[in-house]
Amino acid sequence: MELTCLHNKFNLSALPHLSLPSSKNPNPRFFSRKRNNLCLASTSDTLVTGSGKEVSSKKDAELGDLKSWMHKNGLPPCKVVLKERPSYDEKHRPIHYVAACEDLRAGDVAFSVPNSLVVTLERVLGNETVAELLTTNKLSELACLALYLMYEKKQGKKSFWYPYIRELDRQRGRGQLAVESPLLWSDDELAYLTGSPTKAEILERAEGIKREYNELDTVWFMAGSLFQQYPYDIPTEAFPFEIFKQAFVAVQSCVVHLQKVPLARRFALVPLGPPLLAYRSNCKAMLSAVAGAVELVVDRPYKAGEPIVVWCGPQPNSKLLINYGFVDDDNSYDRLVVEAALNTEDPQYQDKRLVVQRNGKLSVQAFPVYAGKEKEAVSDMLPYLRLGYVSDPSEMQSVLSSQGPVCPVSSCMERAVLDQLADYFKRRLAGYPTTLNEDESLLSDPNLNPKKQVATQLVRLEKKILHACLQATMDLIDQLPDHTVSPCPAPYAPLLK
C-alpha cells in the first residue's frame, strides 16, 4: 500500500467550507486557513501513473512548491532547498528531501518555521479541550491529530494548508528510504519479519489503533467543542477503520516530538520536517521549539546540495521500522529484550520475589541487550537466573539475609544456568527462517524489494545481537573449571522468553 490523499476517497468539491472552534484565536482568517492536512494509504490502483503524473506536475507548477508557499506565509530566509531523488518504483513520483542550499557549519540555523505554519494539538483543540481528551485515556495525541486531519482533509483546495498536504501526499508516507511503516504491510510482507519480536509489536500496535478507533465516537460526544463545527457524520460512520489506521500511521511517520513545551504542543507537524528530513541515529540535531517558532540547528558541516539529517531519538531499530519505515545499521541504541520470570510454582517464589525487588528487579524482568554490549547484558542476567536455581531453604535464607544479589553458586548450578541461557539464544535464532549468511546474500541484491530489504536488515541485526549473546555465554561455559560436571536439576528454573 502507498500513501495518497483523501482526495481519492471523497468528493471534495461537494463539501462545504468549515471553520475551526474559536477557543484560541479569534482571527477568522486563521480559522479559514487551517483546513486540510493528511496523507492516507490506499490500494495501488489509486496511485498516479502515466499522464496522471504529468497533470499533477503541471498543477504543482501552477501552485508553487512547499517552500515558496511557506515563504509567502511567514517563513524567514533559510539555508535549505527542496531537492528530489527517484523513487524505486517508476509509478511513484520522485521523493523530495531537504538539502543545504549553501555550505553550512555546525551550529548554523538551517531553518526556523514560525508557529503559524506548525500544526499542534494546541492549534487544533485549545488547551482545555486537550486536557479533556487526553486525561480520559481514550485517545492518544497521534489519534487526535489523525482524526482532526481526516475531517480537515475534506476541505480540499480551500485549505490554507493545501500545499503542505500536497507535499505529504507526494511523499506517500515513504520517508527517505521509500518504505512505509509495516503497520500498512500485507500479511505476506509481514512474513519477512518471521522470527523477529518486532512482528508481534506490529500486531499489538495495530490492535491499539483499533481500540482507539472504537473510542472515536465516545470522544466525539465528549469533546463537542472540537467537532461541533463539522457538518459530517460521527467518526466511525464518516471513516472506515482502514482509513483511520492509514491516517494514524501517516501522522506517526511525520510527527515531531518537541521538548520542553506544554502538553498541547509536544507533538507537531512541521513543514520542512519529516518526512522531508532524513532520520539518523548518530546525529544530534533536533527540531526544537524556540520563541514563536520551530527551528533546526545542524550538528555537522554540510556542503551545498547535501541532504540534512536529524536525530530520531534513542530508539531501537524495531521502533524506527514501525514508526518511520527504516533501519539504521549504525544505531547505537539498537537493542533486543530478554524477558526472565521467576517460576510462580516455586515453593520459595515469594522469598525470591522479595530478593529481586530488593535489588531493583521484578518477578518478570525485561533485560535490554544493546548492540555491542552483549557480554555486559549476559553478566547482568546471571544473578537473577542463579537465584531461580536456589532450591535449598537454608540457602534461600542465606540469600535473604545477605546484601546485594548474592547467592551460593556451585559448579553444577552455574553450568545449568549457562546451559539454559545458551539453549534460549539458540532457540531464538532457530525461529528465523534464514541464516545470517542468507541475509547477507539477500541484501547484496540491488533489485531486492525495499520492504524485504528493510525487514532483512532488521532481522540480520537482531541475529547479530543473539549470536553475540550466545558467544558470550559459550565463552563463560568454556571458563568453567570442571567441564565434567553435569548441570544440576532445576524443577523451578526461571522462565525465559
Q: What is the pLDDT of residues 106-122, one digit of tens each?
A: 999 999 999 999 998 88
pLDDT at residue 88, rounded to an integer: 65
Question: Above 60 in pLDDT, residue 208?
Answer: yes
| pLDDT of the residue at 166 | 80
Q: Is residue 248 part of a domain?
A: yes
Tell me the C-alpha distance between 129 and 109, whole Å. Answer: 34
Q: Which residues make Cβ contacts (< 8 Å) with residue 344, sequence separation at least 6?
A: 363
Residue 9, domain member (yes or no): no
Residue 406 has pLDDT above 90, yes or no: no
| Sheet strands (E) in 354-445 | 364-370
- Please give the pLDDT value at position 404: 58
Domain end residue (candidates: 274, 300, 324): 324
Q: Which of 383, 384, 363, 368 is nearest to 469 (CA)?
A: 368
Q: Residues of the chain with pLDDT > 90: what percent?
A: 48
Taking the CA atoms of residue 157, residue 179, residue 275 and residue 254 in that order, the dihedral angle to the nearest 10 degrees is: 80
Assigned domain for 238 exists: yes
Query: What CATH number does residue 235 fall under?
Result: 3.90.1410.10
One domain for residues 130 and 247: yes
259 and 130 part of one domain: yes
Model confidence over 78-101: pLDDT tens digits? 999 999 887 766 666 777 889 999
Q: Do residues 296 and 279 lie in contact, with contact meaning Cβ atoms separated by under 8 Å?
A: no
Shared-domain flag, residues 201 and 256: yes
Q: Are strands 278-280 and 309-311 parallel, antiparallel or unpaired?
A: parallel
In contact, 183 and 206? CB cutoff 8 Å? yes
Question: What is the model's pLDDT at position 459?
Answer: 98
Give the residue-averaged pLDDT of 126-141: 64
Percentage of the chain exceeding pLDDT 70: 78
Between 423 and 137, the higher pLDDT residue:
423
Nearest C-alpha neighbor of 458 from the set 325, 293, 327: 327
Over residues 136-159, the pLDDT tens digits come to 666 788 888 888 778 777 777 877
Q: Give the residue, 30 or 134, on which the prediction is more confident.
A: 134
Average pLDDT over residues 390-416: 78
Range of the domain at 209: 66-324
Q: What is the per-residue pLDDT for 200? A: 96
Return d(Cα 347, Cα 177) in angstroms, integer.
53
Nearest Cα neighbor of 461 from 159, 282, 196 is 196
pLDDT tens digits, one per residue of 438-476? 999 999 998 898 899 999 999 999 999 999 999 999 999
Mean pLDDT, range 196-212, rounded to an integer = 95
Reply yes or no on whether the pLDDT at 235 is more than 60. yes
Q: Flag whether pLDDT at 168 surpasses 70.
A: yes
**Per-residue confidence at 134, pLDDT binned at 50, 70, 90?**
low
- Nearest of 496, 206, 443, 453 to residue 336 by alpha carbon: 496
In a domain? residue 120: yes
The last residue of a domain, from among 260, 289, 324: 324
Q: Which three cell numbers stand for residue 17?
A: 467550507
> 363: domain CATH number?
3.90.1420.10
The answer to which of 125-139, 214-228, 343-357 has the lowest mean pLDDT is 125-139
Q: Are residues 317 and 366 in the same domain?
A: no
Q: 229 and 348, same structural domain?
A: no
> Are 134 and 281 in the same domain?
yes
Q: Do the beta carbons of residue 38 and residue 150 sit within 8 Å?
A: yes
Cα 26 to Cα 22, 130, 151, 161, 231: the distances in Å are: 6, 18, 21, 19, 21
Is 406 part of a structural domain of the chain?
yes
Identify whether residues 421 and 340 lie together within a single domain: yes
One domain for residues 217 and 147 = yes
Taking 60 as the threshold, does the pLDDT of residue 353 lie above it?
Answer: yes
Please tell me whether residues 281 and 376 are part of one structural domain: no
pLDDT number for residue 28: 31
Q: What is the dihedral of CA 169, 173, 176, 182, to 10 degrees?
A: -160
Is 10 part of a structural domain of the chain?
A: no
| Spatial distance between the Cα atoms of 133 and 402, rounded to a whole number of angstroms | 49
Q: What is the pLDDT of residue 250?
A: 83
Instruction: Report the distance separating Cα 128 and Cα 173, nearest Å.
Output: 31
The confidence band for 348, taking pLDDT boundaries of 50, 70 and 90, is very high
CA distances from 242 to 1, 207, 275, 297 (A): 12, 12, 22, 37
| Torsion sign across C-alpha atoms 155, 30, 286, 200 | negative
298 & 416 share domain: no
| 89 and 205 part of one domain | yes
Average pLDDT, the chain: 80
Q: Does residue 61 fall inside a structural domain?
A: no
Our count of domains for the chain comes to 2
Last residue of a domain, one of 267, 300, 324: 324
Tell me the pLDDT tens digit for each residue of 7-39. 333 332 332 332 233 333 333 322 333 333 333
Answer yes or no: are the C-beta atoms of 20 and 228 closer than 8 Å. Answer: no
The continuous run of DSSP H or E covering 446 comes out as: none
Instruction: Provide the CA 52 distance to its chain's centre, in angstroms.
Output: 32
Q: Across the strands, what pairs with 256? A: 268
Annotate 199-237 with b (16+ C-beta within 10 A) or e (fewer): bebbeebbeebeebbebbeebbebbeebbeebebeebee
What is the model's pLDDT at position 352?
92
Same-domain check for residues 303 and 354? no
Mean per-residue pLDDT, 53-61 = 45
